[in-house]
Amino acid sequence: MNESVINIGMYVTYGLIVIAALAAIIFPVIQMFGNFRKAIPTLIGIGVLALIVVLSYAFSSAEVYPDVGPRVSQWVGGGITATMILIGLCLFAAIFSEIYKYFR
């Protein structure tokens, strides 16, 4: 008896998670098309992030490690490279903004 109640609760929870995920994806897309001019900077940011990930994946090596195939190894290397690039960009932006505030 208790297991069936737990199973029903799990299925309800899974359904609510799917509904929440779909709502979190669909409503911003609808809002973006409703006011496309304000969405352009966001789309540019997403494009730059995608470009960084694609370039990081392209330049990473496919060296095979134990228990990992060449494709997974290249994705891991690309992820590490993309993370380092983004950390460098964040540091550059922080330093630039502090220098800009100082001279303003």
pLDDT of the chain, 104 residues: tens digit per residue: 577 777 888 999 999 999 999 999 999 889 988 888 888 998 999 999 999 999 999 999 888 878 888 888 999 999 999 999 999 999 999 999 999 999 98
CA pair distance 4, 76, nearest whole angstrom: 41
Task: Tell me the pTM.
Answer: 0.70
pLDDT, residue 79, reads 94
Rounded-to-integer distance, Cα 50 and Cα 86, Å: 12
Helix axes 36-59, 70-103, angle to 10 degrees: 130
Give Cα 25 distance to the centre of its chain.
Answer: 13
Q: How far apart are CA 18 and CA 91, in angstroms?
A: 37
The single-letter code of the amino acid at 61 is: S
Three-class SS state of 11? helix
